[in-house]
């Protein structure tokens, strides 16, 4: 799987904000850096299919060799990880992950196997004992890991990261980003990350794209 941006340009009221061309290979993380307000998060909205007026785009978004630029967001198979975990506080950890799983997959597996799958995923990241806990009782690092597991449960073909580590303290930030990058590499998922932090970009060990006004 790969993610390609072919001269993808973002406009606001017909004024060009930025243009990006890149090819992200499986398991790699490309970082996009630049000043606030230039449109980095808007770029992620364009890729994921969530752009709205007054913004518009030209160019192509290609996921796994297929152009998705004209597809609605739910058909693009692109996962998102934000600086806030955005977990559903009224659901348990297990139910948060299950919510993201495709309904067809849940039906195929059956309830018991779905729960077994979720337990296995949590166990892999050292969270096997929190499956039935409310998400608001988790630490910041635990919430970050659950958020990524939920993103991956949707079986994306590419992942977008929007300042995903910015609210974590220094030690936790390093541990979490190393874990996130390792998960993406293990699953051969291409990722595009927006960040203001050069340490994040360097840790990603991929291409760094600097955009400017």
Distance CA 201, CA 199 (A): 5
Average of pLDDT values for 183-206? 94
Last residue of a domain, one of 112, 129, 155: 155
Report the C-alpha gap between 48 and 78 in whole angstroms.
6
Mean pLDDT taken over the chain: 92
Residue 3 within a domain: yes
pTM of whole model > 0.85? yes
Spatial CA neighbour of 53 closest among 42, 44, 62: 42
| Same-domain check for residues 68 and 120 | no
DSSP, res 187:
T
Alpha helices of the chain — where are they, by DSSP H?
A: 40-48, 93-100, 103-109, 111-124, 140-153, 170-186, 198-204
Is the pLDDT confidence value at 204 over 90? yes
Structural domain contains residue 164: yes
Domain C-terminal end among 155, 174, 198? 155
Number of domains in the chain: 2
77 has pLDDT over 70? yes
Give the percent of the chain with pLDDT over 70: 100
Structural domain span for residue 33: 1-77+157-213
Give the CATH number of the domain where residue 50 resides.
3.40.50.300
**What average pLDDT does the segment 59-77 reach?**
95
More confident residue, 28 or 83: 28
Q: Which pLDDT tens digit goes with each residue over 105-120?
A: 999 999 999 999 999 9
> Residue for token digits 């406009």?
11
What is the per-residue pLDDT for 170? Answer: 82
State the pLDDT at residue 169. 81
Is 187 within a domain?
Answer: yes
Same domain for 114 and 61: no
Predicted pLDDT of residue 176: 84
For the stretch 29-67, pLDDT in tens is 999 998 888 899 999 999 999 999 999 999 999 999 999
Domain stops at, among 155, 173, 191? 155
Sheet hosting strand 3-12, strand order edge to edge: 15-24, 3-12, 55-63, 66-67
Q: How far is CA 95 from CA 92, 116, 118, 173, 189, in A?
A: 5, 13, 9, 26, 24
CA distance 144 to 142: 5
**Buried/exposed 3-30: b ≥16 CB within 10 Å, e otherwise:** bbbeebbbbeeeeebbbbebebebbbbb
In the prediction, which pLDDT does 184 show? 94
Task: Give the residue from 76, 94, 102 showing the smallest Cα distance to 160.
Answer: 76
Q: What is the mean pLDDT of residues 135-156?
A: 90
Confidence of residue 213 (pLDDT cuts 50, 70, 90): low
Measure the CA–CA gap between 164 and 195, rounded to whole angstroms.
8
pLDDT in tens, 163-194: 988 888 888 788 888 888 999 999 999 999 99
> Span 68-94, mean pLDDT?
92
């Amino acid at each position: 799987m790969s993610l390609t941006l072919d001269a993808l340009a973002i406009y606001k009221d017909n004024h060009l904000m930025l243009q990006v061309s890149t090819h992200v290979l499986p398991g790699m993380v490309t970082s996009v850096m630049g000043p606030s307000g230039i449109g980095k998060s808007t770029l992620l909205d364009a890729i994921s299919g969530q752009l709205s007026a007054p913004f518009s785009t030209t160019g192509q978004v290609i996921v796994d060799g297929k152009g998705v630029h004209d597809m609605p967001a739910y058909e693009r198979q692109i996962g998102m990880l934000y600086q806030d975990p955005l977990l559903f506080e009224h659901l348990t950890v297990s139910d948060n992950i299950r919510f993201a799983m495709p309904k067809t997959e849940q039906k195929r597996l059956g309830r018991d196997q779905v729960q077994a799958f979720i337990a296995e995923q949590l166990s892999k990241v050292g969270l096997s004992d929190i499956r039935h806990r409310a998400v608001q009782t988790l630490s910041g690092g635990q919430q970050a890991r659950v958020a990524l597991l939920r993103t991956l449960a949707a079986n994306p073909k590419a992942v977008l990261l929007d300042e995903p580590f910015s609210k974590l303290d220094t030690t936790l930030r390093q541990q979490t980003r190393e874990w996130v990058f390792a998960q993406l590499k293990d699953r051969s998922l291409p990722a595009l990350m927006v960040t203001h932090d050069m340490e994040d970009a360097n840790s990603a060990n991929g291409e760094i794209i600097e955009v400017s006004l």
